[in-house]
Structure 1
Amino acid sequence: MTLPILYSFRRCPYAMRARLGLASADLRVELREVVLRDKPPAFLAASPSATVPCLKAGDSVIDESLDIMCWALAQNDPEGLLDMPQDGHALIAATDGPFKTALDRYKYHTRYDDADREAERTKASAHLETLNTQLTGQDWLFGPTPRLADLAILPFIRQFAMTDKTWFDAQDWPDLHRWLETFLASPRFAAIMTKYPQWREGDAPIFFSG
């Protein structure tokens, strides 16, 4: 049986999200590490958007990170990540929408002629305040164990935090800081952040299951 192929890039938060979903589902895939400045033809042929992550499973191609998570968890969800209130989907949508837009304009402000770095950080911070409030009195967003929203959102909070770690650490978000640090110290995060060589046509396959 041919395994699904995941085209990934280690540091991309969207690709982290996909790997987290596959790892939680304990699904084995062939992992192909893409260097974004040197995209291989097989990847470009597979991915309609030419972006990572991209999962090729038989004749099907899944080109969105959240869809990859949901595809994997629909097959096997031993941690119950999909057992989540509708509010969780709203938090994911807010992260992928206004928060990610502000994050990009904060982190990569030199790419945008009209970006005010501090103003964008302030916009993003409003979402982090919401998450900090949601986490008050509980380990994860919706209780004592993680749900889909936690794993879908955390890679982007990490990206924001690492943009200016000194500033981030100084903010009065104790529950958010605890949540992020728990994730960063977890064996799951360590497993999905293993370094792999750039994939080239003809290379021996590398397998990933988290």
Structure 2
Amino acid sequence: MSAEKCFAKGSAAPGPVPNGHIRLYSMRFCPFAQRARLVLSAKGIKHDVVNINLKDKPEWFLEMNPLGLVPTMETLAGELIYESPIICDYLDEFYPEKKLLPSSPFGKAQQKMTLEHFSKIVPLFYKISMGKKSGDDVSVQEAELKNRLSKLNEDLVNKKTKFFGGDSITMIDYMMWPWFERLEIFQLKHCLDSTPDLKKWAELMLEDVAVKATMHSVDTHKAFGKTYAEGKPNFDYGL
């Protein structure tokens, strides 16, 4: 069961987590929540999704997680977990079938180091996109973004692999993907022109079953973004 339409202030809380499932509190257009949905899909974990209106959050959700963050995950035992990397690591450990993280401690450390590097890139996507919309000069930030993306490209070149953890998709690929899905929305797709291996990686990611199951079209992203920019985000857009 997935409650596609979002729950807002005044709404009744959903029932208990279905037996044999795990519940994800999400928002359909949130890239951080998409990380968790990618992992749930890739690992074939039975789950339901409850979408939250992030502008008008339900009282029961704020009691559950006073920070009001998505993704938040609730287990059958009522345990609550939030922050997307923590949720995804938990899912990989608790559901050991089709492991996404490397088995070696060094392999895990490598992925966490790559994720730490990528976490410095994420704010640039938003700064540049917002700056362009405001008519600001974002050339310095765009140069920094290209430099950081080139380092990711070098990582793939040095490893001589299709993906960041080898020749099949692993956790780190899913952790980074949501922002690459949105490159055209950020008006930054051209930043991959000088990073051919990274560009090829993005093309290969589009062929993945979990990516296909969780992504939105460019037009849908743009339409939601327009409602967000107008101050009236339509979290149910397209339903």
Aligned twin of 2:185: 162
- Aligned partner of 1:10 among 12, 23, 28: 28
Matched, 1:146 2:169: yes
Aligned twin of 1:39: 57
**Unpaired runs of at least 5, structure 1:** 199-210
Instruction: Provide Cα deviations, 1:53-73, integer angstroms capped at 9, x if missing partner.
Output: 111223321110011111111
Matched, 1:48 2:66: yes
How many angstroms apart in 1 are the aligned matches of 2:89 and 2:185? 27
Alignment of 1:88-103 (within 5 A): 88-96=111-119, 98-103=120-125
Q: TM-score, normalised by structure 1?
A: 0.80
Q: TM-score, normalised by structure 2?
A: 0.71
Residues matched between the structures, number: 193
Amino acid at match of 1:172: S
Matched, 1:73 2:95: no
How many angstroms apart in 2 are the aligned matches of 1:186 and 1:24? 9
How many angstroms apart in 2 are the aligned matches of 1:111 and 1:65? 28
Which of these two proteins has the greater Rg computed from alpha carbons? Answer: 2
Alignment of 1:169-208 (within 5 A): 171-193=193-215, 198=236
- Aligned partner of 2:81 among 62, 65, 84: 62
How many angstroms apart in 2 are the aligned matches of 1:91 and 1:160? 19
1:23/1:182 CA distance change after superposition, 3 Å: same
How many angstroms apart in 1 are the aligned matches of 2:188 and 2:131? 17
Bigger RCO of structures 1 and 2 (CA < 8 A, at least 6 apart): 1
1:48/1:181 CA distance change after superposition, 3 Å: farther
Aligned twin of 1:25: 43
Q: Is this contact kept in 1: 2:128–2:141, CA < 8 A? A: yes
Displacement of 1:111 after TM fit?
A: 9.7
- Identity rate of aligned residues, in percent? 22
Amino acid at match of 1:157: F
How many angstroms apart in 2 are the aligned matches of 1:162 and 1:127? 19
**Unpaired runs of at least 5, structure 2:** 1-18, 221-234
Instruction: Provide Cα deviations, 1:161-188, integer angstroms capped at 9, x if missing partner.
Output: 531155235x211111111121123221
Q: Secondary structure at the match of 1:55?
A: strand
Q: Secondary structure at the match of 1:124?
A: helix
How many angstroms apart in 2 are the aligned matches of 1:2 and 1:138? 36
Q: Is this contact kept in 1: 2:183–2:189, CA < 8 A? A: no
Structure 1 window deviating more from structure 2 (102-111 vs 71-80): it is 102-111
How many angstroms apart in 2 are the aligned matches of 1:101 and 1:53? 18
How many angstroms apart in 2 are the aligned matches of 1:109 and 1:46? 35
Q: What value does the CA root-mean-square deviation take over the aligned residues? A: 2.6
